Structure 1
């Protein structure tokens, strides 16, 4: 399990962030501009080209909480990551096994052996040995280096602040890491408090126990156990290819289970699946 060591800051903390921005950041907790101000404050510590804040939840595809991307093409690349290539990302693979809070280079998470050549079309990626993680998501800028702030919120929820910079321009330095480690505990506490106050706005969803009951009940009278596993992942935002990787089965098998489940539920599209699921949400809530 990779260790970030950021809970024990090394060297002096960044006085500029603490002195000039701490009160501003604390005041922004619970507000819509919290992550924009956080991005600005981090820019006082080190230079980066753009920042993305991701939310990871157990058994769900990642979600974007905030980003400073300006290029439309690169935003398409981000959307492709959120829908497809995240399952191949070395950080996501490490996250499933457990990652300690801390500051990391993306290269700290070596990618697991993976047959990328045969997955280029399914995942809309290009294999490239010059890239930091061995491949490039379609429409994502090339030659970027990533520095990650990994901040668990609770056992099933984690926020990742990803900073990106062109490696050809020098990339991030060990000094950058030291400065971020110096303020990591403060930033982690800020984000945990912001989540506590504004989680219903950041990721509006059902309470976890109720959500689990819904998944347990949904289709239980007509679907097989494997079909329910497939449908659960589809409802959580996974593509068929992602479902195949998560369940360790072949893509045609997933498509077959999905087709059979749709037939048993008497639906013919993903839109109808979501509508049917939301109908069960309302029924369960009315019964409480």
Structure 2
């Protein structure tokens, strides 16, 4: 696909005057800007602040897909998403999902049970930190029928990153207040919000801190070797902890582990 210069200039026009826009207008401007460069199937924009529930700022899904990609995601699966963990790091720039995913992500139960339902061939995200603790992630998605992004397309997205970052920082600079308002509605303060729903799951299931850390990395898609490197322990020790957790919970598979995890989120 060649660059649509006329469309590009039209997409840039409303951004020049600098008047702050609402979420739909900002997201729409991003979508139009990207569509002048290449084809894609979906756009979704989330804001992340630490371990809090992400705010959905914009998406192009129909009602059915919105439930899967947004509503269900916000209910808990985001805690296992490589994009969520990259946003918390943070890792500014443009990233392919497969660059951020743990070594066993694409064979993990989370991927097979949840992510595969999206029918995506690839997801690429612009990661834009707007404060010391808030990152906005603007995702471009392609379904299997469309195929993955080429190396040339990815390079073009990286060249567009400074413009996208400026757009986000200008129009979504006040997200801290919105996160605070969302917390106020739930009756939770910032101190409680530093503990994600997953923490409650581990406490409810009576796991030790080390067991919880290991089993959460398992659910994210890390191999025993990867977990050992992250936690500074041997692969054998990781495997012993995994066996102990499975015995303690009365389960024998990662499928049962994920089911238990999702069922207990928020308790």
TM-score range, shorter chain: 0.5 to 0.7
Larger Rg: 1
Cα-to-partner distance string for 1:144-202 (whole Å, 9 max, x where unaligned): 31011111101101000011102443321111111112221112012101123x5478x
* 1:22 equivalent in structure 2: 12
Cα distance in 2 between the residues matched to 1:200 and 1:16: 36
TM-score w.r.t. the length of structure 1 is 0.58
Q: How does 1:126-137 map to 2 (within 5 A)?
A: 127-128=111-112, 136-137=114-115
Q: How does 1:174-253 map to 2 (within 5 A)?
A: 174-196=151-173, 199=175, 203=178, 205=180, 215=190, 232-233=192-193, 238-239=196-197, 242-244=198-200, 249-253=202-206
Mark the runs of 5 or more structure 1 residues left unpaired by the alignment: 1-12, 129-134, 217-231, 255-288
How many residues matched? Answer: 197
* 2:102 equivalent in structure 1: 111
Cα distance in 2 between the residues matched to 1:101 and 1:27: 26
State the superposition RMSD in angstroms.
3.4
Cα distance in 1 between the residues matched to 2:118 and 2:172: 30
Query: Which of 66, 78, 91 is residue 100 of structure 1 equivalent to?
Result: 91
Query: Which of 143, 158, 163 is residue 166 of structure 1 equivalent to?
Result: 143
Question: Is 2:91–2:127's contact at 8 Å kept on the other side of the alignment?
Answer: yes
Once the two structures are TM-superposed, the CA of residue 40 in structure 1 deviates from its matched residue by 1.5
Alpha-carbon distance change, 85 to 20 in structure 1, aligned in 2, over 3 angstroms: same
Query: Which of 46, 57, 65 is residue 74 of structure 1 equivalent to?
Result: 65
Moved over 6 A (4+): none
Q: How does 1:57-72 map to 2 (within 5 A)?
A: 57-70=49-62, 72=63
Once the two structures are TM-superposed, the CA of residue 108 in structure 1 deviates from its matched residue by 0.4
Mark the runs of 5 or more structure 2 residues left unpaired by the alignment: 208-267
Question: Is 1:56–1:158's contact at 8 Å kept on the other side of the alignment?
Answer: yes
TM-score w.r.t. the length of structure 2 is 0.62
Once the two structures are TM-superposed, the CA of residue 250 in structure 1 deviates from its matched residue by 4.4
SS in 2 for 1:169: coil
* 2:263 equivalent in structure 1: none
